[in-house]
Structure 1
Amino acid sequence: MKKRAWLIYALIFVVVMLSGCGGNTDTVNSNIKTYPVKTLQVKEESYPVSLEYEGITGGSEVRKLSFKSSAKIAKIYVTKGQHVKKGDPLVDLDKTDLNFALEAAKSQMDAASAQYTKAVNGAQSEDINKAEIAVKNAQDNYNYYQDLYNKNVALYNSSAISQQALDSSKLQLDSSEAALNSAQQSLEQLQNGTRAEDKEALLAQLNTATADYKSKMDLVQDASLVADTDGYVVDVLCKEGELQAAGNPVVLMRSENQVITVGLSDNDVKKIKVGTKAQVKIDNTTADGEVINIVQMADQQSGTFSAEIKLLNPIDNDQFYIGESVKVYLDAGEKESILIPISSILNDGEDYVYVVENGRAVRKNITLGDAHEDKVSVEGLKAGDKLVIEGMKEIKAGYRVSEK
């Protein structure tokens, strides 16, 4: 009986002790602070990737226009920044000497044509008489220009006339001498008759004289510089009255297209192709663009590959200055990654975030990647993680948290 009573007392003691321990545990747990946080379940997302570069406005579209002949600038029709249409006059040269040369070339061509025609048709007495008269007239003309040139030499030596005036006189003398020689040759051939090989030679002379005339005609036409396309005058490099050397630029022109040039790295150039879309930021203006050309050979100095981007919606020309540095963002496709809000990232020398696991805050160190708007791609998280996006500054690793 006593033994049974002792066992009953022992069981009651154990029950009381267990009940006391349970009550203390609840009290301890109730004293641990729980921090409210807001979470976001992360997942992999697709986002556009862009390549950022510094570009230069203008690039290869700026063209240098020049003359084929040397002469004084007679008239300038345009000013820097002016918009022009195709065919509008730009600059004229003084055509005085060019016209003299053209007349001389025409005379030689006409003489060569006459000689060849006579050789083919045969000579008549009246043709010989005409040829003799032509020689006499050519001789008188030559004598006149010879005397004039000698006088001009004396005047030039005394600084009474310019070098240009002397050169013009010499050109006239050379032209008259060529005409005299042609007239004399024509007379001789009429008098002596023409052999087959002479006819071939005369035909060759005619062809040469005709080509020379066409060349001189081209130089006269070239002496009036006109716009070959619609565009803008970037700069005028000459002044009226100045002597302009052949081949030296007189006007810089650009088309109405607005082009940006960038130098792509050997890695990025493989991600871009003709037609790739781009955005260009010029000062506070952003314009859409498209790649229109990629140079397949790297620049020897920079090691980059030049790409040209045409603005699809051109900006005001007053804001588009040639040679200005601008920001260029090239579309490089899409990328799959975990994106998280930038505002959820903390840093104590390392970038990290908090995630919630089993009701506790767990620190995760992360590596940042591409930024996209208010998010950034990261490594160090996995899809399904509960990312703390609000309240993260109030907690530390191991804190008990409750999700809002």
Structure 2
Amino acid sequence: MTGLSIAPGKTVQAGQQLMALGSGQEIEIVVHLDQNDLYLVDLGTTATAEVSNQTIMGQVSSIYPEVKDDKISSFLAHIKLTNNQDDLLKPGMPVNVRIDTGQSVTVPAVPTASIFQDEQGRNFIYVVANGTAVRQQISIGETIGDFTEITSNVPQEIMVITSNVNEIKNGDAIVVMQ
């Protein structure tokens, strides 16, 4: 905030700027946390936001309870940005946020090239079952490099067809080469 002190009895001219306030629009990201997540996130925890294929760094600056119907329904983590260069992030803009909790998990992933979509935008893979190609609908998560996370439940030891998926049809005979 910038201010100007005026002494009693001093004259002020019409249109003279006396004070300028900041815009009040310092952008923060607000993320909902469940009770279980609350124990993994502390003040100062590092966070990254992806917007327009660029990464913006930040830190958790505050955590407040969200109260609905006189009950705490979740917690809100406020992330202060440390490098919003060129005002890349604007108010109301959707972003993908990662909060570094120090925890890691193993997730099922398949080569991105083995995933295909139907006309409705649903995602599928072909798996091998009893020597035939079986089309299986999946839900997908994050893509890193050449692999995409599968967020739906799939059996652990399935064989996913990873080549020629555009030429395969449901029920085609498959020869597994090892």
Aligned partners of 1:265, 1:276: CA distance in 2, in Å? 13
Structure 1 or 2, whichever has the larger Rg, is 1
Letter in 1 for 2:91: E
> 2-side partners of 1:363 and 1:266: how far apart?
37
The 3-state SS of whatever aligns with 2:42 is coil
Q: Which residue of 1 aligns with 2:134?
A: 363
SS at match of 1:354: strand
Deviations 1:22-66 (A, max 9, x none): xxxxxxxxxxxxxxxxxxxxxxxxxxxxxxxxxxxxxxxxxxx6x
Q: CA deviation at 1:353?
A: 2.5
Partner of 1:100: none
**2:161 aligned partner:** 388
1:366 touches 1:378 (CA, 8 Å); kept in 2? no
User: Letter of the aligned partner of 2:60 in structure 1?
Assistant: V
Amino acid at match of 1:95: P
Q: Secondary structure at the match of 2:113?
A: helix
Q: What residue number does 2:63 align with?
A: 294
What's 1:260 paired with? Answer: 28
Residues in 1 aligned to 2:53 and 2:114: alpha-carbon distance in whole angstroms: 30
Return the structure number with greater helix share: 1
Name the one with the larger strand percent: 2
User: What does 1:14-33 align with in structure 2 at a 5 Å threshold?
Assistant: none
Amino acid in structure 1 at the alignment position of 2:173: Y
TM-score when normalising by structure 2: 0.63
State whether residues 354 and 362 of structure 1, in contact with CA within 8 Å, keep that contact through their aligned partners in structure 2.
Answer: yes
For 1:241, the aligned partner's letter is Q
Amino acid at match of 2:105: K
Q: 1:354 aligns with which of 84, 108, 126?
A: 126
Query: Equivalents in 1 of 2:153, 2:78: separation in Å?
Result: 38
Structure 2 matches for 1:204-353, cutoff 5 A? 241=13, 250-253=19-22, 260-262=28-30, 264=32, 270=38, 272-281=41-50, 285-298=54-67, 305-312=75-82, 314-316=83-85, 319-320=86-87, 324-326=91-93, 327-331=95-99, 333-348=103-118, 351-353=123-125
Please, what is the CA RMSD of the aligned residues? Answer: 4.2
Structure 1 residue 387 displacement after superposition: 1.3
Structure 2 gaps, min length 5: none
1:236 matched to which residue of 2?
Answer: none
Instruction: Give the 3 Å change call, closer, same or farther, for CA 361–281 of structure 1 in structure 2.
Output: same
**Structure 1 SS opposite 2:107:** strand
**One-letter amino acid matched to 2:168:** I
Percent identity reads: 18
Aligned length: 164
Query: Alpha-carbon deviations, 1:227-285, whole Å to 9, x = none?
Result: xxxxxxxxxxxxx52599xxxx9332489xx6514152656863643233212346665
Spell out the pairing of 1:54-73 with structure 2 (5 A cutoff): none
TM-score, with structure 1 as normaliser: 0.32
Please, which runs of 5 or more residues in structure 1 have no aligned partner?
1-64, 66-77, 79-89, 98-163, 165-239
User: CA separation of 1:274/1:372 partners in 2, compared to 1, >3 Å: closer, same or farther?
Assistant: farther
Q: In structure 1, what is the equivalent of residue 175 of structure 2?
A: 401
Matches of 1:289 and 1:268, distance apart in 2 = 22
Cα offset, 1:293, TM superposition: 0.8
Residues 306 and 241 (structure 1 numbering): CA distance in 2 closer, same or farther, change over 3 Å? farther
1:75-224 → structure 2 map (5 Å cutoff): 90-96=3-9
Q: Residue 352 of structure 1 contacts residue 363 of structure 1 at CA under 8 Å; is this kept in 2?
A: no
| Deviation for aligned residue 1:323 | 6.4
Change beyond 3 A, Cα 1:310–1:378:
closer
Output the amino acid matched with 2:143.
Answer: H
Task: Report which structure shows greater RCO (CA 8 Å, sep ≥6).
Answer: 1
What is the alpha-carbon distance in structure 2 between the residues aligned to residue 95 and residue 345 of structure 1? 74
Determine the C-alpha separation between the residues in 2 that align with 1:381 and 1:295: 37
Q: Report the CA distance between 1:394 and its aligned residue.
A: 2.3
The equivalent residue for 1:372 is: 143
Deviation per residue, 1:65-101 (Å, 9 max, x gap): 6xxxxxxxxxxxx7xxxxxxxxxxx41213337xxxx
Give, as a single letter, the amino acid of the residue that structure 2 aligns with 1:280: A
Distance in 2 (CA, whole Å) between partners of 1:284 and 1:266 is 27
